[in-house]
Amino acid sequence: MNVRQSGIGMTSRRTRLRMVERLRAQGIRDEAVLAVMGEVPRHIFVDEALASRAYEDIALPLGFGQTISSPRTVARMTELARAGGTLDKVLEIGTGCGYQTAILGKLAKQVYSMERIAALVRKVRRRLREAGVSNVHLRHGDGHAGMPEVAPFDAIVMTAAAARAPDALLGQLQVGGRMILPMTSGNEQHLYLIERTGKGCVERRMDPVVFVPLLPGVG
């Protein structure tokens, strides 16, 4: 592990372990998720000017109108996707800076991630290599469409908010699979857990959150 990965001071492993203890106190119970959160160097996924704030429980700007979600939100979405089990094939909609991608990559056999902004995709390729994550397949594209050619997925994690779950994505979720996404209703956003059963989809509202909107097209 190089110096940038291991970090010093506010980007050190000790700081990550303090973050893990805070996540545990905030109600994250999945020990596999907590272990990976302590392992992946979050500071390499943000601009160096913000590295000293990487382990605070806040969202940080990425440019292009995007943000990196707070550690608690990343841990919660991952915990809901895992549901205490194993992850085989995961689809992520909204790669962003790649931190959530890296966390999923450490816990799933294969991760397929889509991002509409080409400049972010280029940055993430480099950051994932630096973090030692090699099982992620990145694509520059409109997340509304998903990746039907490699479906079905046992989990879909969407990191941008919509008024409803896109039908194309629900159709790529295997029976027994789970989709985690923020949905907007009026002035409020909440995480939703959607589970696909043999008879259809069951939707549950979870935690209040704040995400950027899911936009069409590519940039």
What are the structural domain ranges in the chain? 3-208
Output the 3-class SS for the chain: CCHHHHCCHHHCHHHHHHHHHHHHHCCCCCHHHHHHHHHCCHHHHCCHHHHHHCCCCCCEEEECCEEECCHHHHHHHHHHHHCCCCEEEEEEECCCCCHHHHHHHHHEEEEEEEECCHHHHHHHHHHHHHHCCCCEEEEECCHHHCCHHHCCEEEEEECCEECCCCHHHHCCEEEEEEEEEEEEECCEEEEEEEEEECCEEEEEEEEECCCCECCCCCC
pLDDT tens digits, 171-197: 999 999 999 999 999 999 999 999 999
Question: For residues 23-60, b (16+ Cβ closer than 10 Å) or e, as one string?
Answer: beeeebebebbbebbeebbbbbbbeeeebeebbbeebb
Please answer whether residues 43 and 37 qualify as being in contact, where contact means their C-beta atoms are separated by less than 8 angstroms.
no
| Separation of alpha carbons 20 and 31, rounded Å | 10
Per-residue pLDDT of the chain (219 residues; tens, 9 = 90+): 444 555 556 678 899 999 999 999 999 999 999 999 999 999 999 988 899 999 999 999 887 778 889 999 999 999 999 999 999 999 999 999 999 999 999 999 999 999 999 999 999 999 999 999 999 999 999 999 999 999 999 999 999 999 999 999 999 999 999 999 999 999 999 999 999 999 999 999 999 999 999 988 887
Q: What is the pLDDT of residue 3?
A: 41
Residue range 3-208 forms a domain whose CATH class is alpha beta
Name the catalytic one among 52, 69, 113, 134.
69
Q: What is the pLDDT of residue 9?
A: 63
113 is catalytic: no
Phi and psi, residue 145, nearest 5°:
-85, -25
Q: What is the pLDDT of residue 10?
A: 65
| Separation of alpha carbons 198 and 156, rounded Å | 17
Q: What is the pLDDT of residue 27?
A: 97
Q: What is the pLDDT of residue 5?
A: 57
pTM tops 0.85, yes or no: yes
Q: What is the pLDDT of residue 133?
A: 97
